[in-house]
Amino acid sequence: MNQNGKPKFAMYWAASCGGCEIAVLNTGEKILDVDANFDVVFWPVAMDAKYKDVEAMPDKSILLTLFNGGIRNSENEEIAHLLRRKSQILVAFGSCANEGCIPGLANLSSPTEIFDAAYNSLSTENPSGLRPQYEFDMPEGRIHIPVFYPVLRTLDQVVDVDYYMPGCPPESHQIAAVIDLGDPGVTRQSRITSSGVGDRCIRINGL
């Protein structure tokens, strides 16, 4: 909880198309309940948020984090560990975080084949054959970009996950019910349960 009594909420977009973020907006006016029920402390697609601000928060200070997308690079993995440490409830949100979905199909190809398709195909104008460099010296200093991993991993292959919400993207009515978890008049235990031992899929009021 913060000083205004609201539980904290976070959402992160890793290796995915962004449809899960749109699905949250597709809850319509219900999106206003996010602000009403939660203190939104980290949601890069919707607010100016810095990793250092999350790092400064006490561990377990975020009640609910919706993490969408798989783990494709070193930045995705770093933020997965950070949000796991800071969150009481970490939800693998959407099919990409759950089982890889479309980004996971890239596991059928090697990184070299993926980069060939991206930087060397007929539709790409790249006469010098440039490829990403993870470190590069500039006049201002050395810059770094995230390291591209050989395979995409699901969220629970990197950190412990509390609940799974499948769907590409998840259904808006299920998202709306999750938003209600921040309502002080609704207890988490009465609204969110496990669908079976070991699999912990979200079932909300039987949905």
Question: For position 28, what pLDDT does the model report?
Answer: 77
Q: Is the pLDDT of residue 106 over 90?
A: yes
146 Cβ contact list (under 8 Å, min separation 6): 73, 74, 75, 76, 134
Q: What is the pLDDT of residues 41-98, one digit of tens each?
A: 999 988 998 999 999 999 999 999 999 999 999 999 999 999 999 999 999 999 999 9
pTM of the model: 0.84
Domains and CATH numbers, the chain: 8-105+151-203 (3.40.50.700)
Type of residue found at 30? K
DSSP states of the chain: --TTSPPEEEEEE-BS-SHHHHHHHTTGGGHHHHHHH-EEEE-TTTS---HHHHHTSPTT-EEEEEEESBEEEHHHHHHHHHHHHHEEEEEEESHHHHH-HHHHGGGGS-HHHHHHHHHSSTT---TT-----SEEEETTEEEE-PPEEEEEE-GGGTS--SEEE-SSS--HHHHHHHHGGG-TTS-HHHH-EESSTTT-BEESTT-
- 158-204 tens-digit pLDDT: 999 999 999 999 988 888 777 776 665 554 444 444 443 344 555 44
CB 55 within 8 A of CB 85: no
First to last CA, the chain: 28
Beta bridge partners of 148: 73
Backbone angles phi, psi at 20, to 5 degrees: -65, -35
